Amino acid sequence: MLGKKICILYTGGTIGMLKTKNGYMPCANWLTEKLHAIHLFQNSEVPQFDVIEYTNLIDSSNAQPNDWIKVAKDIYKYYDKYDGFVVLHGTDTLAYTASALSFMLKNLNKPVICTGSQIPLSQIRTDAIDNVLDSLIIAANHNIPEVCIYFSKRLLRGNRTQKVDSSAMAAFDSPNFPRLAKVGIAITIKTHLIRENPTEPLSLDLIKSPKIAAMRMFPGIDYGIIEHILEPPLEGFILKTYGAGNVPNDKRFLEILKKANDRGIIIVNCTQCQIGSVNMETYAAGRVLLDVGVISGHDLTDEAALTKLFYLFSLGLSNEEIKKYMQENVRGELTKS
């Protein structure tokens, strides 16, 4: 760890909030000063770190693609100055930010670890100290050339992660991909799961904001609503289907999807199940989607599917190229069934 230095990008979130009469709210400069004051963070086993605190600290429920872009730009800007990055972020949309960063930061060769807390640092039972300390130590001591989420002793691939619990300390997990480390008395990285170090230099592919929508199938859904959503200017649509990618074999519904596909809308089939993958060839109820041009999202999380669509549309690709890459593993985000 000798000489290693980590950059902490503090975007907001529960971790730095103080209690007010209107509920918990971010407070400028408080967290930054606290991290430098807490004795544990000055221990020789903790790497040196700088905190870059954002001017407008936000609750992550207010996060937008422009916020993803700001973090990505800052990592790119300070990339040569630091050995790794820790992003402090609210939990509600942390998985979206981590997924987006994984796509924007092409050929990443240093750890980018996103974390936060369920209880603010200002409170007695806070989980913030452990999450930040462990993130700093992991970022400084291990070769992990990818975007991760670290939370409650779990190191997870960012674009495989979802918030699975709103009240437990272990708020995040990656249901379709193993955890990247065993964190106990020792920290053991599962090196066979870590992505390989790239040979090309880091490049930054900024995400634009295409017109994308998502909808969950349910019994009795009004197909007219789906038809309305699929009208221009929509460009991409994530359809959350049953089981292994199944939908009702309804003629009107399938015609609506086919017309949308023929107009150039990219329709991605993602399962509602947290564990498992889409396989549209298993059942006739899934195969009908293949026939109308819907593509498989395999085992993509909702967050990865959305941000990957944002990313691919932003590259100026043709529709056929977008369909192709949506179904291929680009940053470790999916496993083909």
3-state SS, 89-126, equals CCCCCHHHHHHHHHHHEECCCCCEEEECCCCCCCCCCC
Of 236, 332, 327, which Cα lies nearest the Cα of 290? Answer: 327
Domains and CATH numbers, the chain: 5-204 (3.40.50.1170), 212-326 (3.40.50.40)
- DSSP, res 196: P
pLDDT given for residue 21 in this prediction = 85
Residues 105-153 have pLDDT tens digits of: 999 999 999 999 999 999 999 999 999 999 999 999 999 999 999 999 9
Catalytic positions:
14
Of 301, 250, 294, which Cα lies nearest the Cα of 271? Answer: 301
Residues 233-263 have pLDDT tens digits of: 999 999 999 999 999 999 999 999 999 999 9
Determine if residue 255 is left, alpha or beta; phi over 0 gives left, psi from -120 to 50 gives alpha, anything else beta: alpha
**CA angle (309 as vertex; 53, 307 as ends), nearest 5:** 25
Span 51-73, average pLDDT: 96
Q: Give buried/exposed letters for 113-147 (b at 16+ CB in 10 A, else e).
A: bbbbbbbbbbeeebbbbbbbbbbbbbbbbbebbbb
pTM of the model: 0.96
Look at residue 215 and tell me whether its pLDDT is greater than 90: yes
What share of the chain has pLDDT > 90, as a percent? 93
Of 8, 225, 48, which Cα lies nearest the Cα of 132? Answer: 8
